[in-house]
Structure 1
Amino acid sequence: MLKNKKSDNKASIEISPDNLDIDVKNNILNICLLDLDQIYKNNVNNDFKQEFKNNLIVYLKLDNYQVPPYDIKNFNEYFIKYKDKIMTHRAFKIDPYMFPLFLLVFSIRDGSYDARNAVLIQNIIQYLKLNDIIFEKYEDKMIDLIIYFKKDSNSSKRFKTSKMKKYLKIGAASILGGTLLGLTGGLIAAPFLAVSAGALVGSAWLTTTLGTAAGAGAVGSAFALTGAALTGYKMNKRAGDINEFSFQKLKTMGSGKRSFLRGQRSLKVTLSISGWISKDCDFATPWTDLRLTAEAYTLRWEGKFLKDFGQGVGYVANWATGQIAQEVLKETALAGVLSAIAWPLTLLSLGRVIDNPWAVAFTRSKPVGRELANVLADRIAGNRPVNLIAFGLGCRVIYHAINNLAKVPNESNRGIIQDVILMGAPIPANDDKLYTSWMESIVAGKLINCFCQKDWILKFLYRTASAQNKIAGLEPIKRVNPRIYNINLSDIVEGHNDYIRKMPMILKTLGYNASNFEEINE
């Protein structure tokens, strides 16, 4: 039981480097460096890891830290050892979410949230067997806290340090405390909530950074909390080979009676990219059930050409609904690979309906990907992690965007992209050098390739390609990195046209469906 005496409560409320004992501090640093070595084994991220180490030593106020010897092959053994020592701290025992939250405060203290820090924190959450959606609520409330202080610190009134600390405590307790009450249904006693809500209050970062108009404004601007950000982005007029390129915010999640408003701001952002559209399905429609981060956008790109391609996909898919066509496909397309397939003449005659729109949109994806790379490199979405998700030709846009970012071999383009999810991707599956480069330098988290071996439309579109060509939308990408995952959707997806129709089921399979979030809320 926590005591109700003010002195005891105050001691337990503040979780800051000042009231962590030396052993806990050392093991926080140990566990972070161990995990970063496990995630990023190549030399490309050595500078980042060294900077992370130096900054955390300063933040924890450790004077004589020495990295302990460990064998990365025995990762689990060392992780458990360090974790058990960290969890001896009273506040971490009461609420283990406070440990990753402590790391979050450290990660965003200078108004920048590196995707590699986000991956580290995500790993810690996973290893502690905590719920990542609940922690995301903590992240979202951190944004509320920043906005709260930014709004009120714009006043010309100056606060003395003691008054500012009291002000911060009231704000943090009301915002974070409300979150915890909502998540626990009132099952956690008030003293316990005091520890959780006060985890940030004891942080010098909140007092010194958010406690001034300039500080709160700088942090808010760094996370794109001011202005239109992505939705207000204007494409460079020199990009003359692009007709349409803009961002649309996804405002609701779910459908019907189970729909609700998305969060307006988040410490991470998701960008979805459609591979085609139709008269019944615009750019946003496929992503209605997407729940990857609270704040999400869709890229509107080359709508005229994507609509033409969508009509072609629909036309060819309708042809395949006939019984005779189904039997023919079973004997040919569903059994063969690419150019080895003996395509039926009736289907080949329909090629003109889909081939030209496909070729045009395929070509347009390259300059669009280049423009997207510029948006990401310029941090238009703010200094925070970006998740990318796409189907069909939208994957081709991501493919070119990452390739463009990888062309700049320095730290500036790293730590932007966290996770990448590709579905039915018309990109190479057997380019080991390419994916090694992606995972070492650009993609901080996971690369998830969702494929369907029965996608005969994608096979048909590649019918003139060499038999040696491997397509990611049809088969696994070689796991040149342990952060590459392959998901076989053949039991869900029957053909390329199913990626829109079956999207809610696909997202649920991946764990990115709105219903996953609703269950936590309820």
Structure 2
Amino acid sequence: MAEKQLISLFDDEYCTKYTILIASTLGRMKETRDSSFYENEHQLSEEERKEWELFHEKYDEWAITVVKRTGNALDPSTPKDAAEVKKFKSFSEAEKGECFVKCLLLLLISLEDYSSNSRQLLYLISKELNQPEEVPHKAEFITSSMLIETFEKIESNEKWYELSKSQQLRKRITMGLAGITGGALIGITGGLAAPFVVSGLGVLFAGLGLGTVVGASYLGAVITSAPMITALFGGFGAKMSMNQVHEISRGIRDFEFIPLDVSSNLSMTIGVAGWLESPQDAADTWYPLTFGDKSYYWGDLYALKFEVQAFVDLGKVISRILFTTGLGWVQDEVLKRTILAPLSAALWPLGLLRIGNILGNSWRVVFNLSIKAGEALANGLCMRAQGKRPVTLIGFSLGSRTIFECLLKLADRGEIGIVENVILMGTPASTDPKLWRKMRSVVSGRFVNVYSKNDYVLQLVYKTNSIQAHAAGLEPIAVNSSCVENFNVGDLIEGHLQYRWLLPKILKERLGYSHISDKMIDELQIQEKTFEQSQRELFNEDTKEQEVIFDASETSE
């Protein structure tokens, strides 16, 4: 088998060590997810128990597949190549760890579904082996480039592509990979894909002095199959095109995944904005994440847009409240009543209620559209529009509400291997722990709630429209930290619009995504000031009229 030839470089001690490491990490991953979304199994309702059992079934199915694949590769009884073992023993511990992380990546890809669970396993093991965070990131980047080049070479020769579709030939190729070297690989593929495979693996294992046999045998059939590579990358964006998503977004206008920084990486990120200043903002909001020499950490970056005009209209209403001089009293009035006297909105001044109702009209429209878009997003992910690779979801305001709804739908379907990380900011959604635990079941990595008690716009919407008693964007979620990470940004966020400008700053300085560009954070601060000035000029042309319409002295008594 391919694994036997491959693993010949690891001695018995390290075969056993890495086998135990994989098993223990799989156990910790399950325990963390298990305890985080259901803290006490005996208190589960019937519906929750079914969800819990579905998670176990899906997780165990994936874990068994991983154990079988890696177990065969790390079988200590496999005959060893003395020269390869000697070479491996000469490595430092750091080099041995790096070598194993890269080999594990190739093994996980060979499962033909690089799921969010698989990626989480890779990164946890890399951390356990004290590898710098750039090691798995760069390994993914190099491997994806190699696969793309291989695919392009296969596709460029119609004859080879037709042959690769033959299951019989693929079987022969897979078996032949067991003992190939660079020269044998050229013989098997007729020289069509081999140069890219050889050079790509050479880059991946650069500095370790290992032959191309390592990577070629680990990737197995994936390296010789154009259809498999296509499925992994979601048709290289084709499945995320407007035509392909039309079926999943019926009843929602402008539903589209906008490519921002796409080079067919082994992971991807989708950003969802919560309000728009202009139609271009659906994409422009997320461009700051594309800057910096480590922007590839986000994988392929897309922005999700939908119902653009409704989001633009909402942005204008919020700006009117925030930047009209005659309405400067609103913030103090809202915070005074929600912090010092969190009573019924019926006791609020009539002027405040009027403003809340004006905002509420636009808010309710977009709120309902966001829920519909969340279901459409879930449908797209389940159809593997993104390919067979993990997804990170980031959103703020009503964009977070879209992601919130998406996660609930994924949980209903037991899709535990699609979403890796989720970051929600200023979310207008329930703080019910049961819902957040349910969503946690389909998030393999980080699940973050960013909130601000000083977000008086969100306070105003919730109090005057009686949507819910509590909002995730205003307070922490009452669950343990392994379930949801809560971050209070009340010192940064006062008005709801600020999330758009402070998103990269929050990601870097509060959530620890250190690869985000400092230059871009500074540039956004300048853009925010320019935006605020333009909005004040726009909404203060008739200040006196605004003061008359919304007189703070009016009360409901």
TM-score between the two structures when normalised by the length of structure 2:
0.73
Structure 1 gap segments, 5+ residues each: 1-13, 65-86, 181-192, 252-262
Q: Distance in 2 between matches of 1:265 and 1:321?
A: 50
Displacement of 1:314 after TM fit? Answer: 0.9
Q: Distance in 1 between matches of 2:216 and 2:93?
A: 15
Q: 1:38 to 1:136 in 2, by over 3 A?
A: same
Secondary structure of 2:385's match?
coil
Displacement of 1:439 after TM fit? Answer: 2.0
Which string of whole-angstrom CA distances, capped at 9 and with x for unpartnered residues, describes residues 5-24 of structure 1?
Answer: xxxxxxxxx99323222332
Displacement of 1:60 after TM fit? Answer: 2.9
Matching residue within 218, 225, 242 for 1:205: 218
- Structure 2 matches for 1:396-435, cutoff 5 A? 396-409=401-414, 413-429=415-431, 431-435=432-436
Q: Distance in 2 between matches of 1:414 and 1:132?
A: 24
Q: Are the counterparts in 2 of residues 248 and 300 from structure 1 also a CA contact under 8 Å?
A: yes
Q: Distance in 1 between matches of 2:60 and 2:398?
A: 34
Quick check: 1:53 aligned with 2:67?
yes
Q: Are the counterparts in 2 of residues 233 and 247 from structure 1 also a CA contact under 8 Å?
A: no
Q: Are the counterparts in 1 of residues 452 and 488 from structure 2 also a CA contact under 8 Å?
A: yes
Q: 1:467 to 1:170 in 2, by over 3 A?
A: closer
Residue 494 of structure 1: aligned partner: 494
The worse-fitting range, judged by mean Cα deviation, of 167-176 and 374-383 is 167-176
Q: Distance in 2 between matches of 1:497 and 1:438?
A: 26
Secondary structure of 2:486's match?
strand
Matching residue within 165, 176, 188 for 2:185: 165
Q: Are the counterparts in 2 of residues 173 and 194 from structure 1 also a CA contact under 8 Å?
A: no
Quick check: 1:27 aligned with 2:17?
yes
Quick check: 1:353 aligned with 2:367?
no
Q: Are the counterparts in 2 of residues 370 and 400 from structure 1 also a CA contact under 8 Å?
A: yes
Q: 1:446 to 1:312 in 2, by over 3 A?
A: same
Residue 238 of structure 2: aligned partner: 228
Residue 370 of structure 2: aligned partner: 365
Secondary structure of 2:381's match?
helix
Secondary structure of 2:140's match?
helix
Q: 1:301 to 1:232 in 2, by over 3 A?
A: closer
Displacement of 1:305 after TM fit? Answer: 1.2
Residue 447 of structure 2: aligned partner: 447
The worse-fitting range, judged by mean Cα deviation, of 389-398 and 491-500 is 491-500
Matching residue within 390, 393, 399 for 1:388: 393
Q: How many residues align?
A: 453
Counterpart code for 1:418 = E
Residue 267 of structure 1: aligned partner: 266
- Structure 2 matches for 1:370-381, cutoff 5 A? 370-381=375-386
Q: Distance in 2 between matches of 1:465 and 1:237?
A: 34
Q: Distance in 2 between matches of 1:49 and 1:29?
A: 13
The worse-fitting range, judged by mean Cα deviation, of 476-485 and 143-152 is 476-485
Displacement of 1:418 after TM fit? Answer: 0.5
Q: Distance in 1 between matches of 2:410 and 2:501?
A: 32
The worse-fitting range, judged by mean Cα deviation, of 476-485 and 335-344 is 335-344
Displacement of 1:415 after TM fit? Answer: 0.5
Displacement of 1:501 after TM fit? Answer: 2.2
Counterpart code for 2:388 = N
Displacement of 1:336 after TM fit? Answer: 4.9
Residue 114 of structure 1: aligned partner: 115
Q: Which of structures 1 and 2 has the larger relative contact order (alpha carbons within 8 angstroms, sep 6+)?
A: 2
Secondary structure of 1:234's match?
helix
Q: Are the counterparts in 2 of residues 333 and 341 from structure 1 also a CA contact under 8 Å?
A: no
Residue 139 of structure 1: aligned partner: 140
Matching residue within 314, 318, 327 for 1:313: 318
Counterpart code for 1:270 = T
Q: Are the counterparts in 2 of residues 369 and 399 from structure 1 also a CA contact under 8 Å?
A: yes
Residue 228 of structure 2: aligned partner: 218
Secondary structure of 1:371's match?
helix
The structure where helix makes up a greater share of residues is 2
Q: Distance in 1 between matches of 2:203 and 2:343?
A: 56
The worse-fitting range, judged by mean Cα deviation, of 216-225 and 334-343 is 334-343
Matching residue within 251, 255, 260 for 1:245: 255
Counterpart code for 1:264 = S
Which string of whole-angstrom CA distances, capped at 9 and with x for unpartnered residues, describes residues 317-362 of structure 1?
Answer: 1147866455445533454547469644433222343111100111
Displacement of 1:478 after TM fit? Answer: 2.0
Q: Distance in 2 between matches of 1:266 and 1:338?
A: 51
Q: Distance in 1 between matches of 2:275 and 2:454?
A: 19
- RMSD over aligned Cα atoms: 3.4
Secondary structure of 1:448's match?
strand
Displacement of 1:372 after TM fit? Answer: 0.8
Displacement of 1:426 after TM fit? Answer: 0.7
Structure 2 gap segments, 5+ residues each: 35-52, 79-87, 164-172, 290-294, 521-557
Q: Are the counterparts in 2 of residues 289 and 504 from structure 1 also a CA contact under 8 Å?
A: yes
Q: Are the counterparts in 2 of residues 269 and 385 from structure 1 also a CA contact under 8 Å?
A: yes
Q: 1:339 to 1:295 in 2, by over 3 A?
A: farther
Q: Are the counterparts in 1 of residues 254 and 307 from structure 2 also a CA contact under 8 Å?
A: yes
Which string of whole-angstrom CA distances, capped at 9 and with x for unpartnered residues, describes residues 207-232 of structure 1?
Answer: 6542x3xx244223332254523134
Q: Are the counterparts in 2 of residues 339 and 466 from structure 1 also a CA contact under 8 Å?
A: no
Q: Distance in 2 between matches of 1:200 and 1:392?
A: 49
Q: Distance in 1 between matches of 2:378 and 2:460?
A: 30
Counterpart code for 1:387 = T
Quick check: 1:153 aligned with 2:154?
yes
Q: Distance in 1 between matches of 2:368 and 2:221?
A: 50
The worse-fitting range, judged by mean Cα deviation, of 369-378 and 240-249 is 240-249
Q: Are the counterparts in 1 of residues 452 and 493 from structure 2 also a CA contact under 8 Å?
A: yes
Which string of whole-angstrom CA distances, capped at 9 and with x for unpartnered residues, describes residues 376-425 of structure 1?
Answer: 1111110010111000011111111111122224xxx2201111100000
TM-score between the two structures when normalised by the length of structure 1:
0.77
Displacement of 1:485 after TM fit? Answer: 0.6
Residue 460 of structure 2: aligned partner: 460
Q: Are the counterparts in 2 of residues 24 and 89 from structure 1 also a CA contact under 8 Å?
A: no
Counterpart code for 1:107 = L
Displacement of 1:464 after TM fit? Answer: 4.3
Q: 1:178 to 1:22 in 2, by over 3 A?
A: closer
Q: 1:344 to 1:100 in 2, by over 3 A?
A: farther
Which string of whole-angstrom CA distances, capped at 9 and with x for unpartnered residues, describes residues 222-249 of structure 1?
Answer: 3225452313453445854322311101
Q: Are the counterparts in 2 of residues 91 and 98 from structure 1 also a CA contact under 8 Å?
A: no
Counterpart code for 1:316 = I
